[in-house]
Amino acid sequence: MQIYRKWIIPCILLSFTLLCHYLPAQNVLSLEKRKSFKRIYYLPGDFIRFQVHDDGVVYHGYIESVTQKDLVLVKSISLGNTDEDDLQVFRDYVPLENISVIFPSEDHYWQYFRKMFYAGTMAGGSALIGIATVNSIIEKQTPDLGSLIIVSSIMTLGLGVRYTGRNKYKLGKKWQLVVRPAFPVVPKENSRPE
């Protein structure tokens, strides 16, 4: 009996692995740059913001599922109390060919760095200008030109970093949306299309 007990857990894990291998996986939405290997994946459960061709409305929500033709977004809105009875769930079915612009998520590290660097340089530059002005008033001298040049260059650098980068991805010539399976299917060698 002892011999069989130590093989039970590995057999269960192996059977679950084989079972999960044959289950159909969910699709993921891939934003790809043409003629390049740059890809941004949007998985089910990720937040996405985009604009459509028809009316220019900006949709946003969490991806529930991706099919070959549609993107299903889900939004949960709590009305009043936090009871489950007041929770309203809305779904938007958006055809993929209607999407014209995708906006990058705000939690992306470059977007976060841009905002923090901009805020830090503007706050630091403003503080240094205030200190230079107060010192010039107290000492009854003109402000030092070198310190004003340094402060203005810090603030200009912050403005430059804030407005560099990509604020949106326009679909068309450079960017395209592709629906991919979550786990790529490797074709067998003998199953070539003729």
State residue 194's pLDDT score.
Answer: 44
DSSP 144-166: PHHHHHHHHHHHHHHHHHHT-S-
Q: 82 falls in which pLDDT band (50, 70, 90)?
A: low
90 and 172 share a domain? yes
> Does residue 68 sit in the same domain as residue 86?
yes
Q: Is residue 8 part of a domain?
A: no
For the record, the structure tokens of 61 come out as 């929500």
Same domain? For 173 and 78 the reply is yes
Tell me the pLDDT tens digit for each residue of 119-171. 898 898 888 888 888 888 888 888 778 888 888 898 898 888 888 877 788 88
Whether pLDDT at 23 is above 50: no
Whole-number pLDDT of residue 88? 73
**Co-location of 32 and 60 in the same domain:** yes
How many structural domains is the chain composed of?
Answer: 2
Apex 65 CA angle, 53 and 47, nearest 5: 70
* Residue 50 counted as domain residue: yes
Find the mean pLDDT for residues 62-69: 86
21-30, 45-54, 170-179, range with the lowest pLDDT? 21-30
- Reported as type and span, the H/E element at residue 18 is helix 2-22
- 144 and 117, same structural domain? yes
Do residue 47 and residue 114 come from a single domain? no
Mean pLDDT value across residues 81-104: 77
32 and 97 in a single domain? The answer is yes
Q: Identify whether 194 is part of a domain.
A: no
Instruction: Please indicate, yes or no, whether residues 44 and 89 belong to a single structural domain of this protein.
Output: yes
Give the distance between the most distant pair of CA atoms in the chain. Answer: 95
Domain containing 158: what range?
109-162
Same domain membership, residue 173 and residue 89: yes
